[in-house]
Amino acid sequence: MKQGLAVFGFGIAALAAAMPAPARAEGNKFTFARADASAVDYRATRHRAAMSCEQLGRNGGDTAALKVERVPATAQVPEHCRIDGVLKSGAGFQVNLPMAWNGRLYMYGNGGFAGEDAEAPHEQASRDRGLANGFATARTDTGHLAASEPLASFARDRRKLVNHGYRAVHDTATYAKTLAAIFYGTRPRRAYWDGCSTGGREGVMSAQRYPADFDGIVAGAPTLDWSSIMIKGLWDRQALAGSGLSFDKMGLVFKAVIAKCDALDGVADGLIDDPRRCNFDPQRDLPACRDGGATADCFTASETEALRKIYAGPPKGAATPSWLFQTPGSEQPSTLFPFTMMRDGSPDVLSIFAASWMKYIGFKNPDYDPAQFDFASDPARIRGADVLFNPTPDLAAFKARGGKMITFWGWADTALNPQMGIDYYDRVVGRLGLPATQSFYRLFLIPGVAHCGGGYGPEEIDAMTDVINWVEKGITPDRLPARRRSTDGSPSYNRAYCPYPAATRYDGSGDREDPQSYSCAAPPEPAEPAEQK
Ligand SMILES: [Ca+2]
């Protein structure tokens, strides 16, 4: 294995520079896409600024490095004040306050280890979406800058670790509300959080630790258990390195998986509705190479074994949860890249994250060699930061306050295991019962969608509009619309998914591109509440 494991021997700076663009959070790029159909007209701007940007600069408080500028209207965004600064706690922030305002705060989350520049293209895109729809916006770098402290290296500083874990979002949200109150003469009527991946985790963490911070939360594919995912990152890399599996070979695996499992859900549409029901066995279901001869369309023992390891996940134990494995349907290049495999065989992003995480958070030893990771004994040794990073399933206070939260998750997410979300949701249900949980928190699992978007499934998801309608009009999201509009000849989809644990089942007749042709199948017996809140 030595040859395969040498891939971890990169310098951190080189790895950060080599990180492909998709690894950086793009946020939920279809947020507000369904504004026209929204019951709440959140684009209506009934509030006006009570002062100029210049006056706000003199009234914004004693925050370090406060910079206030007026930004004129463009074709994309209305005129607004932009406030950049660093809170006393060390969290860098940016708040944008439109002169004409809808009365709401929109805060967008981070990706990976955060530390993004506020002017990075995906940050600008999130900001512009918020401003264009009438919101005041806020964001934080979570207390460090990746440009100077790449990946997990910031975690050497305990204050930065806590800021990244949960403090920076809370402090920034609090400060943004104060700035809005000064600028408009009234506090935001509602505050919304929008994030995916690390941004999803920040949303769930806010609901748990600071239940008054946000009224509505979109927590896409949240990193609910960093430590476990990092173990998976190391495991998958070790399984693949030197196995001989290539992108092209994985394309053959994907075809075999679809051929075997697509129709199990009643519709042969190229999507596997619930990959947990796909009993795919690489050894049984793929053509084996005969007599030692390897060709492009057969699988060697080493390739089959690597696939088996990925579908099984690392050996399970007290510190390695049972849900840590990859489900079939994630072998397509659009879902493998960049978290499981790179086309040139270089280290995938999840293993790069894992290497840095083990050094600076798991083992707190910058010289640690992740190739030495022992999957039997080390998982229990790396969980010291879990208390800072992992939200607990106690969402009772958020529920009591009237908060609403939606989590959506792609079944073909190779960065964060969707079963991590099921596990968390089940634990919330274990405390509150299913009806009470679904009254404020819903989980939607979307087939064929990769990490926070992309993949081959219906990735156009605007859960934010549903959350706003849930909070402000009491409209329960019984289905989450999801679409794919393809221009490249791949299938287009128009779907609306039922909340977990219900399945979305084709009625057997009618246009399968009409969501009305599907019903929510009865969930399994609901769990009994273990604890009344
Ligand atoms: Ca199907």
Instruction: Decide if 338 is inside a domain.
Output: yes
Task: Specify if 206 maps to a domain.
Answer: no
Mean pLDDT in residue range 106-133? 97
Strand order in the sheet with 104-108: 64-71, 80-86, 92-98, 136-140, 104-108, 190-196, 216-220, 404-410, 441-446
CA of 270 to the centre of ligand 1 (A): 6
Mean pLDDT of the chain: 92
CA–CA separation, 431 and 426 (whole Å): 9
pLDDT above 90: residue 23:
no
pLDDT: which is higher, 471 or 490: 471
The pLDDT-based confidence of 14 (bands split at 50, 70, 90) is very low
Interval 168-173 mean pLDDT: 98
In a domain, 193, yes or no: no
**How many angstroms does the Cα of residue 407 sit away from the middle of ligand 1?**
22
Q: What is the pLDDT of residue 62?
A: 65
Question: Is 321 inside any structural domain?
Answer: yes
Q: Say if 252 falls within a structural domain.
A: yes
Structural domain span for residue 262: 2-20+227-386
The 10s digit of each residue's pLDDT in 52-64 is: 999 998 887 666 6
255 C-alpha vs ligand 1 centroid, how far in Å?
Answer: 13
pLDDT at 25 (0 to 100)? 53
What is the distance in A from the centroid of ligand 1 to the CA of 175?
Answer: 47
Tell me what the mean pLDDT of segment 338-365 comes to.
Answer: 95
Would you say residue 97 lies in a domain? no
Confidence of residue 20 (pLDDT cuts 50, 70, 90): very low
- Tell me how far the alpha carbon of residue 256 lies from the centroid of ligand 1, in angstroms: 14
**What tens digit of pLDDT does each residue of 329-338 get?**
999 999 999 9
- Residue in this structure with the two tokens 């395969």, named with its chain if needed: 4
* Per-residue pLDDT, 58: 86
Average pLDDT rounded to a whole number, residues 373-402: 97
pTM (whole model) above 0.85: yes
**Shortest CA distance to 442 belongs to which of 420, 472, 409?**
409
Cross-strand pairs, 299: 288
Judge whether 170 and 209 are in contact, CB under 8 Å.
yes
Q: In this structure, is residue 30 part of a structural domain?
A: no
Ligand 1 center from residue 279 Cα (angstroms): 14
On the question of pLDDT at 144 being above 50, the answer is yes
Ligand 1 centroid, distance to 447 Cα (angstroms): 9
CA of 505 to the centre of ligand 1 (A): 10
> Domains in the chain: how many in total?
1
> Over the stretch 247-279, which tens digit does the pLDDT of each residue have?
999 999 999 999 999 999 999 999 999 999 999
Spell out which residues have Cβ within 5 A of ligand 1, the ion: 262, 265, 267, 269, 271
Residue 412 Cα to ligand 1 midpoint, Å, equals: 14
Instruction: Give CA–CA dist 177/532, Å, rounded.
Output: 33
Contact 352, 151 (CB under 8 A): yes
If you measure from the C-alpha of residue 266 to the centroid of ligand 1, how many angstroms do you get, rounded to a whole number?
6
Give the model's pLDDT for residue 26: 64
User: How sure is the predictor about 80, in pLDDT bands with cuts at 50, 70 and 90?
Assistant: very high
3-class DSSP state of 367: coil
Q: How much distance in Å is there from the Cα of 506 to the middle of ligand 1?
A: 9
370 alpha carbon to ligand 1 midpoint, in Å?
39
pLDDT tens-digit map of 223-254: 999 999 999 999 999 999 989 999 999 999 99
Question: Are the CB atoms for 425 and 500 separated by under 8 Å?
Answer: yes
Residues in the chain: 533
Calculate mean pLDDT across residues 312-324.
97
What does the pLDDT read at residue 533?
36
191 assigned to some structural domain: no
Section 90-110 average pLDDT? 98
3-state DSSP helix/strand/coil % of the chain, to nearest 5: 40, 15, 45
